[in-house]
Structure 1
């Protein structure tokens, strides 16, 4: 423009430099990995895979450790070295059938089995006290001989009975909106549970009674019991437990062995101390499978109650942490199933089974570590004992059935292509149908091309 200082030249446009683009946080490889793990963790079938995979891994690893820990005990009893392993393998095979059957049963059938299982458990637990039928093992009268070397412990099935029956009872009362009244919440759940506890304590098995009490509290917690009511039942149970411990010299001796590092007078803490010795000598990666020293007669019940100590000695800290991680995954999956369902029976049953397995694992491992008194309960799915393995695997089947029954899980399973048990080609299933669909898409694409295109 005339008169302008630039002499009519256009003004020079200055280029403004922008700051370099900041990389989004999602481009961070660590964050991307976290997002992928989080998405995989939130998938509908995560609980299903955790329950199925975790339980199978615990069972298989338990079979390996039972074979390793029981050889010396079998030889000392003039039995073949694989005697206990073969019995455990047979129980695991039967348990796998029970797990598969339970995982395929509808929820209505599970509820229908609640009362028959409860009646059978009460009947067999009463038979234990009949002279000539019941037998004592390690001072506890809680076994029934089935002939030969096979025995049955009915109290193990009492846990499953209380879970199923208690879940069905609370679900029916919730449907009728009766759980708001404390009388309906306690009766008849607490009286029946105390009846089972009384039958168990007649045989002197306080460890199983503690697990059954934990299941009762878990059901009451899930039912939304008020704090005063919950504390009241807990106080009564604690008072009864204190009396039973105080009146038994054996239980008092076990209580005094918590944290012991020396066998003490009369070797009263021999088992607890040698369990610590086994864990301490394992180190990080253990002495090797089959190389345990404590199982050579130093550690009592090496293949049952203290199999976790032998695992620590042979597989080291890595092996024990792996077992703990599997139980933690199993517990998380059970809580997830109980928290995501809208069916009250599924919520109570899944919560009861999770409480049962988690509490029993904590009590067993706590006793081996010297943090809790020795209660004489096996490590679920891991220790030797068919009577404990069978109902536990059936309970795992319940969790699998509940995990498959979630709406999102059902939708995810329905979207899968059939793999087994379907007729290929006929009826439009299998690869033939996909091939026809692909050929049809090719013909449509060819028809849509211009005439000059090759």
Structure 2
């Protein structure tokens, strides 16, 4: 069982610092690469709807949806940059309670506002001309709050269920308000994040069995409570034992057609066919299928490799950061960003029932982009707070600038 414990920067402090610094570098590079891939693929996936909109209304701006993703990306970079500059101790305090409370209030506002939601999930809050998805920001708030609450407990206290009452209540409150909106997919990601953080903090596996059984039972009730969910689960098991139905394909089968058409190198960016008519949610939950069709196996493996590298970088920060808060924050970020990514990819590949979660940094969605970049910003701030990391980056930056100047002069 991986238990994250505080450690002093003594003789092995330099190796820890170097590991954190390398982890941060990998996190930033992989995040930038995933964002770039995402922007390109959002432009490609939204091309059909954009062209149809312009044909119907010539005054409509071409690629307006994709341009909103560009704006959201810049907003996310600013948000993440601000969080990176703030001292980690600011959130490793009672401010974490305020962050979780605000997230819960915004999610409750969704329920008060009412409405039919999207795809049966009431998870959007209209604020003037803007529509935000509070559950994405609640993920960030819950990770910060759990890192603060669990980081205060000793290993002995964490292994005693009685001392975990308050963290469990906070998690139950967060997942509860999301579940009330009917968004089962997002609720499952909340459960993944929280259980992973409790386990990394040192909670015994036997103490997690009962919450997992209860969670599985409640998930089953959620499935049978709505015919559309029950149909998705039925389609999943049917697809496992039957060949694709070419006359009445399911959403997953359309995704499989896209992967099959892409082959090894893909049909070319923008040249995919499934996104035009058959593949629903091509720019959001099923953008991974568009990648498979247009960039092929090469694109699929590239995206998988980038998320594996992102997970490795977060792992290096989590296991080498000297403070429990930073360790658990990085661990929670890995559970969210990488766990959700692989859940999305498994769904699109037909290896899990469809439950609708975006592919981080790649799927269209302003709230998701801003929240995930905020998470990366907080990880960067925690990594830079390790003694010697910020100074080492400054020295290397000055050295690189000196080398460039020397090259220009000699050139």
Please indicate the TM-score interval, normalised by the length of the shorter structure.
Answer: 0.7 to 0.9
> Greater CA radius of gyration, 1 or 2?
1
**Is residue 334 from structure 1 mapped to residue 321 from structure 2 by the alignment?**
no
Deviations 1:416-435 (A, max 9, x none): 364799xx9xxxxxx9xxxx
For residue 114 of structure 1, the aligned residue among 96, 99, 110 is: 96
Counterpart-to-counterpart distance in 2, 1:350 and 1:213 = 17
1: CA distance, partners of 2:168 / 2:144: 14
In structure 2, the residue corresponding to 1:296 is in which secondary structure?
Answer: helix
Cα distance in 1, alignment partners of residues 281 and 143 from structure 2: 28
The residue number in structure 2 matching 1:241 is 219
2:256 corresponds to which residue? 276
The Cα shift of 1:60 comes to: 1.1
- Give SS of 2:122's match: strand
151, 157, 164: which one pairs with 1:178? 157
* 1:201 is aligned to 2:179: yes
The residue aligned with 1:96 is 77
Using the alignment, how far apart are the partners of 2:146 and 2:70 within structure 1? 31
Deviation, 1:115, is 2.0
Structure-2 residue corresponding to 1:47: 23
Contact 1:207 1:375 in 2 (8 A): yes
Deviation at 1:270, TM superposition (A): 2.2
* Structure 2: distance between partners of 1:301 and 1:417: 42
| Greater Cα shift, 60-69 or 248-257 | 248-257
Check if 1:87 corresponds to 2:68.
yes
Q: SS at the partner of 2:151? A: helix
For residue 201 of structure 2, what is the aligned residue in structure 1? 223
Residue 293 of structure 1: how far off its partner (Å) = 0.3
Given the superposition, is the C-alpha separation of residues 264 and 220 from structure 1 closer, same or farther in structure 2, using an over 3 Å criterion? farther
**TM-score computed with the length of structure 1 as normaliser:** 0.78
1:412 to 380, 383, 392: 392
More helix per residue: 2
1:257 is aligned to 2:235: yes
- SS of equivalent residue, structure 2 residue 351: coil
Q: How far 1:263 moved relative to its partner?
A: 4.6
Q: CA deviation at 1:317?
A: 0.7
The CA distance in 1 between the partners of 2:252 and 2:20, in whole Å, is 43
Cα deviation, 1:368-407, whole Å, max 9, x if unaligned, reads 1000011110000100000111110010112222333334
Q: How many pairs are equivalent?
A: 379
CA contact (8 A) 2:113 2:125 kept: no
Helix, strand or coil at the partner of 1:111: coil
1:43, CA displacement in angstroms?
A: 5.9
In the alignment, what sits opposite 2:380? 400
Residue equivalent to 1:22:
none
Partner SS for 2:265 = coil
Q: Provide the residue aligned with 1:142 in structure 2.
A: 123
Is the Cα contact below 8 Å between 1:308 and 1:368 reproduced in 2?
yes
Structure 1 residues 217 and 417, CA, compared in 2 at 3 Å: closer, same or farther? closer
> What is the alpha-carbon distance in structure 1 between the residues aligned to residue 91 and residue 193 of structure 2?
18
Structure ranking higher on relative contact order (CA contacts 8 Å, 6+ apart): 2
In 2: Cα distance, 1:181 partner to 1:44 partner: 30
Distance 1:158 1:256 in 2: 31
2:275 aligned counterpart, secondary structure: coil
Q: Which residue does the alignment assign to 1:124?
A: 106
How large is the RMSD of aligned CA atoms in angstroms? 2.6
